[in-house]
Structure 1
Amino acid sequence: MKIKTIVGEKKVEKVYPTTKIIEALTMMDKENVRRICVADPGTGRVEGILTNMDIVDFLGGGSKYNLVKFKHNHNMLSAINEPVKEIMTDNVVLIKENAELDEVIDLFVEKKIGGMPVIDKSGVLITTINERDVIKYLKDQVDEKLLVKDCMTENVVFATPGERLKDVARTMLRNGFRRLPVVSEEKLVGIITSTDFVKLFGSDWAFNHMKTGNIREITNVRIQDIMKTDIVSVTSNIKLVDAIKKMNELNIGVLPVVDGEKLIGLITEKDIVKCIYKK
């Protein structure tokens, strides 16, 4: 099956290399997307991609924070007006519209990515394809015998409510995780995701909580103040197809797996794609 059949006329969100970071953040929050393509305004070719994890990096998790720290002396109100090209990922994995689904999944697994731009034969951006698109397409082909425990991630890296945002950002980048469950006294009490970092600025939360404009006013926030607490979870013995249905209904990319109140794993879109593909 060719991927252009799967994504159809799916809308693509894009910005340009000179677009301000704050404008891209606002668009990502408004459209509820984890990645946004950066295209050349003249040719339409992909110049880069801005992902939630780039934002996590920019907000204290890694080297992209240096833009805020050194060039702008921690002044976030100044730094977010820099162009997107300063923090985007420019080594982008691309896929052509006539590629087969197997090629897409191979790239997801091999490159450890959750989505990529789709281009035409001339290299012009058409749309994007991500793990959620693949799951929605393959959901009716999932083996009814598969259970969540057959596919879930165990030995989960988690955060605690008192950790600061900057520490969570570093943990996410170090482990390559977009989501961290929050655990207190062995009980699941919340979850924080890379999308939450985007929402801090895309929804004006950060601006309403900064007095001086210094980014450290935000990176030192305890995650208990921003984490999601209305968590939807599953048990390990439910059918994978039922977990997929729940994720699709709620438009979410992860379900914590619990035994009572104790966290025992996570089932993510990445886990599902790898599991379906393997089977």
Structure 2
Amino acid sequence: MWSILMRFGIGAPTVTTRPSSPVVPGETAEVTVDMEGGKADLEADALYVAVETEYEQETEEGTQHIDTTLHTEKPIGSFTLGADERRTETVEVTVPRETPVTEGHTEVWIEAGLDVGFSADPDDWEYVEVEPSDRMQRVFDAAEELGFGLREAYPEAASGGIFSSGKPFVQELEFVPRRGRYRSELDELELIFDPTEDALTVTVEVDRSGGMLSEMMGADENKDQLVVADQDTEAVTEELAELIDRNM
């Protein structure tokens, strides 16, 4: 009887997820999964671990918040979790390069669960902090060196266009000039990261300080790209400044 009821979550096993934090895009995260058996033995097809986030999409009905899975792994194959058995497994999951950093309204979590076929999957999730990769950090440091501060960060549905990465969403990082020579000349600087194994491509939108007419016509915005590979922070700072200057 319990085997049938467990399919509907009654007397089912429980899972507790304890991921390491912070994590870094492109690296691995350690995840400890505590499992406690239910009222009967359970045949699990696998233990899965997933990295997930949420992005916004504008529709006719308003703003929708869409959960999306960035990456899933099954580090442990089929096994039996006995009735009332307590079992702990520590596994690793790859944090994809495109995982957004947890700044502003950005949230990332790691979920672990048991794949049990037609039954409700016992699972659990926990938020994690995502820090910038080394290349991303060089861009953050360069922006700060030029007098910019991060105002907001949020994932949103990708809009396409010539600078599109082909992914369903992008994370927009909005910087504002707080000191230095750009303070009176720019409204903001928007950055979008597109990382690969060899380099980080940064789409940069330069929003100049202009009148209402310029804003309505979009004449105060220019887009360009910066590629960060092996340059040090000083070189990235110089290249970012050159990009801004030629788009003002």
Using structure 2 for the length normalisation, give the TM-score. 0.28
Q: Which has the higher contact order (CA 8 A, sep 6+)?
A: 1
Point out the structure with the larger helix share. Answer: 1
- From the CA coordinates, give the structure whose radius of gyration is larger: 2
